[in-house]
């Protein structure tokens, strides 16, 4: 029931309007970022809207309509005019708030923002359809024929492609260093290990692994489109001699065990991978992986756990990314909560050997041992 005499009613009313107009605020911020207007203001506190418009190559009208939105949105603040700008002018200057500064200077905020803008925004108009049908209905904003986003990552339009990889890489990169330190405590650095990097994508983790373990080899198991592109990636040149690929689509009945080069490895690795699948699919993938393992093999799973975060900002980012999975990626997955993921491991016949929470911003590393008979 609506009660106007509640404490802080006006603040509550403002926060509800912030939500009601969220897409408009978001697009104003996107325009200010993409045009460089926000950076101009961040670098010149107290600048007038007109002068900022000139420096960012916008009309005075465009800058005014955008900055008028960003002030009540908490991204800009009005100030006295900067020195040198007062001559004969009345009015106010502009400066960025701490939130505005994060948008301009903070890598994580920018990776998240541009992902929302370029990958998610248009497709989110189909959220209700995606929720009702369990299909990524928002993909039709890119191409009505796409069934999931993964085989089409290389075909995304330029800004969306760099935003997708920027987002994925920023979040996984933060945790890779800490995860490699843990692996280095498990395996001597000089051992001739074999790694199977499941969902290895562009080879970023495999490369870091091979540089840390100079005697190791790595096999990337991913969709054909990713595996086929590996030989053309110049950034992998340094480790190419020790890196190979194996194409697999886990949503077909294929077994990893059909691929001898992926069998009996020392270490299997899944980073930000199981969250691309429903619980049933994840159990099936893990069970098939277990069958390719020996009793001495280990599986390392790196995942952000939605209900085990230290910070509200991380929980919010993960919950939002789950909605991306629903509307744009596959229609049926989300970041798992801790109980779900541990249940999935057990159902697939794995025992948890160790858990390492709080790696990077929001990840947990699980080291798993195959438990069931071979
Ligand atoms: C979110 S990315 C994770 C990339 C990387 N492991 C990381 O940590 O950043 C998920 C990866 O799973 C792969 N993938 C998605 N669906 C797949 C499927 N059905 N079969 C095989 N690989 C799949 C994608 O191609 C992509 O490389």
CATH assignment of the domain containing 334: 3.40.50.150
Q: Does the pLDDT at position 86 exceed 70?
A: no
Atom 20 (ligand 1) nearest CA: 249
Q: What atom in ligand 1 is closest to the CA of residue 330?
A: 16
Question: Are the CB atoms for 166 and 114 separated by under 8 Å?
Answer: yes
Say yes or no: 306 and 201 in one domain.
yes
Atom 10 (ligand 1) nearest CA: 273
Distance 167 CA to ligand 1 centre (A): 14
Q: What atom in ligand 1 is closest to the CA of residue 269?
A: 6
Say yes or no: 209 and 305 in one domain.
yes
Q: Which residues line ligand 1 (CB under 6 A)?
A: 150, 168, 172, 199-201, 205, 222-223, 226, 248-251, 271-273, 276
Atom 15 (ligand 1) nearest CA: 150
- Side-chain-facing half-sphere of 355: CA atoms under 13 Å: 14
Domain for residue 82, yes or no? yes
pLDDT bucket at 223, cuts 50 / 70 / 90: very high
Mean pLDDT across 329-341: 97
Nearest Cα to 65, choosing from 82, 55, 76, 11?
Answer: 76
Say yes or no: 96 and 239 in one domain.
no
pLDDT bucket at 84, cuts 50 / 70 / 90: low
% of the chain residues with pLDDT over 90: 89
Say yes or no: 98 and 213 in one domain.
no
Say yes or no: 326 and 194 in one domain.
yes
CA 215 – CA 303 distance, rounded (Å): 27
Q: Does the pLDDT at position 373 exceed 60?
A: no
Higher pLDDT, 348 or 6: 348
Q: Which of 53, 74, 105 is the last residue of a domain?
A: 105
Q: What is the pLDDT of residue 102?
A: 98
Say yes or no: 98 and 177 in one domain.
no
Mean pLDDT across 72-90: 79
Say yes or no: 206 and 323 in one domain.
yes
Domain span including residue 67: 9-105
Distance 149 CA to ligand 1 centre (A): 10
CA 61 – CA 53 distance, rounded (Å): 9
Atom 13 (ligand 1) nearest CA: 199
Q: What atom in ligand 1 is closest to the CA of residue 151?
A: 25
Q: What is the pLDDT of residue 3?
A: 78
Q: Which of 58, 90, 105 is the last residue of a domain?
A: 105
Distance 310 CA to ligand 1 centre (A): 26
Distance 200 CA to ligand 1 centre (A): 6
For 135, left (φ over 0), alpha (ψ -120 to 50), or beta?
Answer: beta
Q: Which of 105, 121, 156 is the last residue of a domain?
A: 105
Domain for residue 125, yes or no? no
Q: Is 1 exposed, middle or buried (0-12, 13-18, 19+ CB in 10 A)?
A: exposed
2 φ, ψ (degrees, to nearest 5): -85, 120
Distance 249 CA to ligand 1 centre (A): 10
**The domain that contains 48 carries what CATH number?**
1.10.10.10
Domain for residue 245, yes or no? yes
Say yes or no: 206 and 302 in one domain.
yes
Say yes or no: 95 and 177 in one domain.
no
Say yes or no: 78 and 185 in one domain.
no
Secondary structure (3-state) at 8: coil
Say yes or no: 101 and 213 in one domain.
no
Mean pLDDT across 138-145: 98
Q: What is the pLDDT of residue 83?
A: 67
Domain tally for the chain?
A: 2
Distance 272 CA to ligand 1 centre (A): 8
Domain for residue 270, yes or no? yes
% of the chain residues with pLDDT over 70: 97
CA 248 – CA 253 distance, rounded (Å): 10
pLDDT digits (tens, 9 = 90+) for 37-79: 999 999 999 999 999 999 999 999 999 999 999 999 999 999 9
Pocket test for ligand 1, best of 200, 223, 286, 329 (most atoms within 8 A of CB): 223
Domain for residue 133, yes or no? no
63 φ, ψ (degrees, to nearest 5): -65, -40
Tokens representing 89 are 């002018």
Atom 11 (ligand 1) nearest CA: 199
Q: What is the DSSP string of 135-178?
A: S-GGGGGT-TT-SSSGGGGGGS-HHHHHHHHHHHHHHHHHHHHH
């Amino acid at each position: 029931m609506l009660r106007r005499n509640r404490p802080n009613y006006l603040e509550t009313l403002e926060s509800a309007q912030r939500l009601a107009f969220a897409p408009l605020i978001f697009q104003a911020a996107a325009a200010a970022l993409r045009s460089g207007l926000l950076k101009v203001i961040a670098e010149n506190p107290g600048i007038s809207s007109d002068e900022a418009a000139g420096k960012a190559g916008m009309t005075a009208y465009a800058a005014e309509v955008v900055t008028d939105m960003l002030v009540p949105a908490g991204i800009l603040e009005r100030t006295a005019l900067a020195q040198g700008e007062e001559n004969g002018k009345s009015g106010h200057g502009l400066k960025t708030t701490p939130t505005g500064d994060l948008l301009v200077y903070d890598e994580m905020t920018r990776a998240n923002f541009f992902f929302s803008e370029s990958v998610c925004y248009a497709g989110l108009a189909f959220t209700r359809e995606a929720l009702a049908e369990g299909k990524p209905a928002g993909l039709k904003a890119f191409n009505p024929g796409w069934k999931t986003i993964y085989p089409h990552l290389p075909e995304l339009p330029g800004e969306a492609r760099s935003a997708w990889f920027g987002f994925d890489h920023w979040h996984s990169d933060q945790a890779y260093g800490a995860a490699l330190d843990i692996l280095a405590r498990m395996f001597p650095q000089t051992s001739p290990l074999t790694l199977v990097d499941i969902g290895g994508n562009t080879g970023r983790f495999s490369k870091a692994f091979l540089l840390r373990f100079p005697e190791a080899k790595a096999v990337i198991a991913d969709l054909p489109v990713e595996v086929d592109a590996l030989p053309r990636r110049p950034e992998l040149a340094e480790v190419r001699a020790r890196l190979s690929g194996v194409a697999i689509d886990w949503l077909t009945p294929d077994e990893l065990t059909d691929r001898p080069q992926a069998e009996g490895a020392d270490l299997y690795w899944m980073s930000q991978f199981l969250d691309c699948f429903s619980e049933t699919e994840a159990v099936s993938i893990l069970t098939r992986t277990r069958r390719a393992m020996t009793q001495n093999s280990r599986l390392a799973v790196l995942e952000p756990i939605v209900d085990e975060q230290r910070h509200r900002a991380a929980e919010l980012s993960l919950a939002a990314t789950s909605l991306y999975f629903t509307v744009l990626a596959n229609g049926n997955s989300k970041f798992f909560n801790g109980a779900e993921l541990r249940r999935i491991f057990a159902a697939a016949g794995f025992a948890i050997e160790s858990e390492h929470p709080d790696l990077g911003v929001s990840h947990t590393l699980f080291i798993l041992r195959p438990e069931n008979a071979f």
